[in-house]
Amino acid sequence: MQPAVEVSENALTERQKDVLDAALTLLVEAGDTLTMTSVARRASCSKESLYKWFGDRDGLLTATVQWQAAKVRGVPVDPEAFSLTSLTSGLERFASDWLRVLSGTISVALNRVAVGHAGSDKHDLGAIVLENGPFAMARRLKPLLQLGRDTGLMSFDDTDEAFRTFFGLVVRDVQIRLLLGDRFELTEAAINRDARRATQQFLALYGVHTKAADDGH
């Protein structure tokens, strides 16, 4: 028996992408209780094809998580004409984007199954989500932070520490509450307000003050 689609093998046919999208919506609806039969029915494909393409249930889940992760790329920052204003707006934009993704039903569902399977997996969904979640965020934000430090707008020793503080100020208890099933009103206005507040707090802690930045609540 062939080991089916390898993780490194990213050649997905359109048909397979459709199947993974169906699996995603089922994951949102039913969580980890989705069955191979339900995926096959929803995607109008045979279970035989599922097993041929993805090996087993775990492989299907892994491919689904990776398929979603592949869709959330992009949005780097431009290191042109840098100022306190562009640093601030960059941080705010980053924070609001992040909160929007984080509070989305797909992100919540994916993190749920990854947390449930963490550690005891052959493919280890937890590591995949970790890699495409917090770690990817760190990689995307750090250039902006270092640019801010190099231009003398911020001051910190350890970029990673600074990132993790920003993480805390942005996410706070939102993610864990959502994962635990707390019904959460997170309107567009609230997201933007939180992004501004987190940015102001972050600059108050790490920014080089010419004039004292006041708190913004």
Partner DNA sequence: GCCGTACCGTACCGTACGTTACGGCAGGGT
Partner DNA sequence: ACCCTGCCGTAACGTACGGTACGGTACGGC
CB atoms within 10 A of CB 214: 8
Structure tokens, 88: 């601030």
Angle at 209 between CA 95 and CA 172, to 5 degrees: 30
**With respect to DNA, which residue has the nearer C-beta, 51 or 82?**
51
Chain center to CA of 146: 21
112 binds a copy of itself (CB under 8 A): yes
| Per-residue mark of binding to a copy of itself, 69-88 (x: CB under 8 A) | --------------------
169 binds a copy of itself (CB under 8 A): yes
Which phi and psi angles does 207 have, rounded to 5°?
-75, 155
Out of 99, 114, 145, 191, name the contact with a copy of itself by CB under 8 A.
Answer: 114
CB 171 within 8 A of CB 102: yes
**With respect to a copy of itself, which residue has the nearer C-beta, 63 or 129?**
129
* Contacts (Cβ under 8 Å, ≥6 apart) of 110: 27, 65, 68, 129
The sign of the CA dihedral 198, 199, 200, 205 is positive
| Per-residue mark of binding to DNA, 22-61 (x: CB under 7 A) | -----------x-xxx--x---xxxxxx-xx---xxx---
Out of 10, 33, 35, 37, name the contact with a copy of itself by CB under 8 A.
Answer: 33
164 binds a copy of itself (CB under 8 A): yes
Instruction: Provide the 3-class DSSP secondary structure of residue 72.
Output: coil
The rounded distance, in Å, linking the Cα atoms of 188 and 128 is 28
**With respect to a copy of itself, which residue has the nearer C-beta, 211 or 217?**
217
Residue 51's binding partner out of DNA, a copy of itself, none, with CB under 5 to 8 Å set by partner kind? DNA
Closest CA to 33 of 47, 41, 43, 23: 23
Contact positions vs a copy of itself (CB under 8 A) = 30-33, 111-112, 114-116, 118-120, 124, 126-127, 129-130, 133-134, 156-158, 161, 164-165, 167-173, 175-177, 179-182, 201, 204-206, 215, 217
Contact positions vs DNA (CB under 7 A) = 1, 13, 15, 33, 35-37, 40, 44-49, 51-52, 56-58
